[in-house]
Amino acid sequence: MNTDPRESLMEASRQFYQLGWMAGTAGNLSARVEDGSFWITASGKQKGKLVADDFVRVSLTGELLETPNPENKPSAETSIHQAIYSCFADARACYHVHSVEAKLVTNFVEGEKLPLPPIEMLKGLGVWEENPQVFMPVFHNHLQVPKIAQEISDRFHRETPQVPALLIRNHGVTVWANSAAEAENHVELAEYIFRYIVAARQVGIKF
């Protein structure tokens, strides 16, 4: 496991910012270290030019353990990262971004899950069946983020998601993986799938 994952997080953030998925201060990225704690982007940082001081390290229970800049506050959405790491012991990185398409697709369903198209890209999210019926969990965008985190934790303890990703309605996607590199792949694959869903709807393709 990487001892200090901040370089990978800064690189991913730069890339997602350039793709328009972390516009301004939107989104947050984290990765764990050996003792189970995780480095996460500090709240309100411009995501196109993060430096190593723009992070904090917090414990799985949310205690602030390290802050290179004393003014840093943990991401406002730290509780969601805590929920993911608590639910999935193998998760080493958790990335949350805000694309236009991720918000749009959550308006295509009323319920708590978004049907995904049976396309090849699902293999990158761990689904290897032929013509799979796969759903991505969708959560309500409560103003109080810990409430979203609690609902994620409750639902994932009842039912393991089919893909390592979740949507928050009109907000964005959160993915997790067993490495920072794999989390970057998961964001790119999820975003590709959202673009496909938006495009399919425009031309009337149903799945």
Ligand X SMILES: CSCCC(=O)C(=O)COP(=O)(O)O
Residues that bind ligand X (CB under 6 A): 24-28, 41, 43-44, 75-77, 96
The minimum distance between CB 148 and ligand X, in angstroms, equals 10
140 is in an annotated binding site: no
The minimum distance between CB 119 and ligand X, in angstroms, equals 27
Residue with smaller CB distance to ligand X, 20 or 44 = 44
Residue with smaller CB distance to ligand X, 57 or 96 = 96
Residue with smaller CB distance to ligand X, 44 or 126 = 44
Residue with smaller CB distance to ligand X, 75 or 106 = 75
The minimum distance between CB 78 and ligand X, in angstroms, equals 8
186 is in an annotated binding site: no
The minimum distance between CB 103 and ligand X, in angstroms, equals 11
Task: Give a three-class secondary structure readout of the chain.
Answer: CCCCCHHHHHHHHHHHHHCCCCCCCCCEEEEECCCCCEEEEECCCCCCCCCHHHEEEECCCCCEEECCCCCCCECCCHHHHHHHHHHCCCCCEEEEECCHHHHHHCCCCCCCEEEECCCHHHHHHCCCCCCCCEEEEEECCCCCHHHHHHHHHHHHHHCCCCCCEEEECCCEEEEEECCHHHHHHHHHHHHHHHHHHHHHHHCCCCC
Give the annotated binding-site residues for Zn(2+). 96, 98
